[in-house]
Amino acid sequence: MYTERSMRSSCWLAVLAAGLALGAVSIVLAPHGRRAAAQTPAEQTPAEMSQARSIADQFSQLFEAASQKVSPAVVPIFAEQTVAMTNVLGGPEDPFRQFFGDDFFKRFFGTLQGGEQSKQTVRSVGSGVIVSSDGYILTNNHVISGAEKLTVVMEDGKKYTAKVVGADPQTDVAVIKIDGRDFPAVDLGNSDNVKIGQWVIAVGNPFQLLHSVTAGIISAKGRSSIGLAAYEDFIQTDASINPGNSGGALADLDGNVIGINTAISSPSGASAGVGFAIPINMAQRVMEALIDKGKVTRGYLALVPQDIDDNLANAMKLKSTEGALVGDVTPGGPADKAGLKRGDVIVQYEGQKIKNSTELRNQVAQTAPKSKVDLAVLRDGHEIQLTATLGERPVEGGEKTQPEQEQAPEMHQKLGLEVQDLTPDIAQELGYGDDRGAGVASVEPGSPGSDAGLRRGDLIKEVNHKKITTVREFTRALADSHKDDTALLLVRRGQNTFFVAVEIP
């Protein structure tokens, strides 16, 4: 069922196509190869108007056919959860909540604070995609997370209680199931083959407007660092995605699902033409693991990769910023056993070029544990070949916060850093044990150190590959640096070690 907005969108697309067609058929070659001026609609002959209308109708029919194929298998998922509620903005009596729906507030505002609280049943709505005739449904983890009851409503209004098969918060993918047979199911496409600029439709249930279809194009591929999941490789689209669309289908004009709609990027919480979908190839791999094993296992190299910016590339004398720089290697882990070292740059994984740390992380995660993988690595300006046997990635937890340090009197004006020697007590407090270096006591805002990403509590262990254990050694190591040089620092933060390039002002 189309909403009024969707019908208006389809009409505008038809008008656009008609306009393009009218322009196309009305341009004729003038003598000597010059183009004649385009005719106005009033100047079109009946035959030309008929041809333009035919092209517009064919264009519209592509969207109609794709929508008819996908829509029956994209269902609303109503999640019920008992939570503590307050009668403030976003509370049950708030008219904005009644208009936008619970999923809007749950997704974008979280749990409300303040005022008297009472336990109430909250019902939010998201979307799901039926992928098999026996009732398996692919959706987002955040749609079903914490729900005590899940209800799926078919296009004919029939309701089914769903059970959770499995969920993977690391990719925000979940699988649920309803009992029955002969359910309408989508055809899954190949997200590796999608093209930027390709027309797509987004099907879901925005703002509880069930079974809505919007249209747009693919704006970008391989979007990461969005902050929505641990493993990100999103398809970006300008097809309208709103709260409630989460878990719905992003499909091509052949009606093949190429992505699972996940989120939007918008300061207002409503669609601003920047939406993100999980590529169906990634979602399908996770889904199959959840159905077969009830969990997802991922490959593990046991290293800390980082991106390479221009400063790092200059400091390390690299020809480009492509690749994943190895900031740290876990002793005894798969990477260590394979011979990888801190400062290596991984440029290929199983023959595939690696552009950045996110790409490496995703590739490793998608490889089964115990697999042997070939790596091409840059070390000291030369490319070497290594083979690693992957381990199994442990369950990932949150990052530990670091205690603050007392300030020390010495200030390194050039970099905007105040550093101090680590006493055994401070090292123990920060969790650095017997490790030594120059401890960062403070960072001046807007300074080169701040621009490089250094933080209070960091431990500087090396300068330009020279090991340091005291502030004096840190100062001496920087003494040879000149204006516009780039200092390469090895920094420890918590349990992670990584490189930082700092420009000398």
Asked whether the domain spanning 411-503 has the same topology as the one spanning 299-392, the reply is yes
One-letter amino acid of 24:
A
Which of these, 449, 382, 388, 446, lies nearest to 417 by C-alpha position?
A: 449
- Give me the pLDDT at residue 158, please: 92
The pTM of this model reads 0.63
In this model, does residue 21 exceed pLDDT 90? Answer: no
Task: Report DSSP state, residue 400.
Answer: P
Percent of the chain with pLDDT over 90: 37
Would you say 406 and 421 are in contact if contact means Cβ atoms under 8 Å apart? no
Of 454 and 207, which is predicted with more confidence? Answer: 454
DSSP state, 35?
Answer: B
Q: What is the per-residue pLDDT across 56-68, written as a single tens digit (0 to 9) for each?
A: 888 888 999 999 9
For 29, the 3-state DSSP assignment is: strand
Q: 101 or 333: whose pLDDT is higher?
A: 333
> Is 375 a residue whose pLDDT tops 70?
yes
pLDDT tens, position by position, 255-270: 999 999 987 665 555 5
Q: What is the pLDDT of residue 17?
A: 47
Going by pLDDT thresholds of 50, 70 and 90, the confidence category of residue 437 is: confident
Catalytic residues: 142, 172, 246
The answer to whether 297 touches 311, Cβ cutoff 8 Å, is no
Burial profile 438-456: b = 16 or more Cβ within 10 angstroms, e = fewer: bbbbbbeeebbbbebebee
At 290-317, the pLDDT tens digits run: 999 888 989 999 998 998 988 889 888 8
71 compared with 94, residue with greater pLDDT: 71
Diameter of the chain measured on Cα atoms: 90
Domain extents in the chain: 4-71, 72-296, 299-392, 411-503
CATH architecture of 299-392: Roll (2.30)
pLDDT beyond 50 at 15? no
Residue 118, classified by CB atoms within 10 Å of its CB into exposed (0-12), middle (13-18) or buried (19+), is exposed
Give the confidence band of 97 by pLDDT, cuts at 50, 70, 90: very low
Please give the class, per CATH, of domain 72-296. Answer: mainly beta
- The pLDDT confidence band at residue 254, using thresholds 50, 70 and 90, is very high
Question: What DSSP string runs through 246-299?
Answer: TT-EEEETTSEEEEEEEEE--SSSS--S-EEEEEHHHHHHHHHHHHHHSS---E
| pLDDT value for 66 | 92
- What are the tens digits of pLDDT across the range 379-393? 998 999 999 999 998
pLDDT mean over 80-97: 54
pLDDT attached to residue 271? 57
Q: Chain-wide mean pLDDT for the chain? A: 79
Contact 313, 328 (CB under 8 A): no
33-47, 93-107, 461-475: range with lowest mean pLDDT: 93-107
- DSSP H helices, 307-406, are 310-315, 334-338, 357-365
Tens-digit pLDDT profile for residues 267-297: 555 556 688 899 999 999 999 999 998 889 8
* Residue 229 pLDDT exceeds 70: yes
More confident residue, 472 or 114: 472
Stronger pLDDT, 305 or 226, i.e. the higher one: 305
Protein fold of 411-503: Pdz3 Domain (2.30.42)
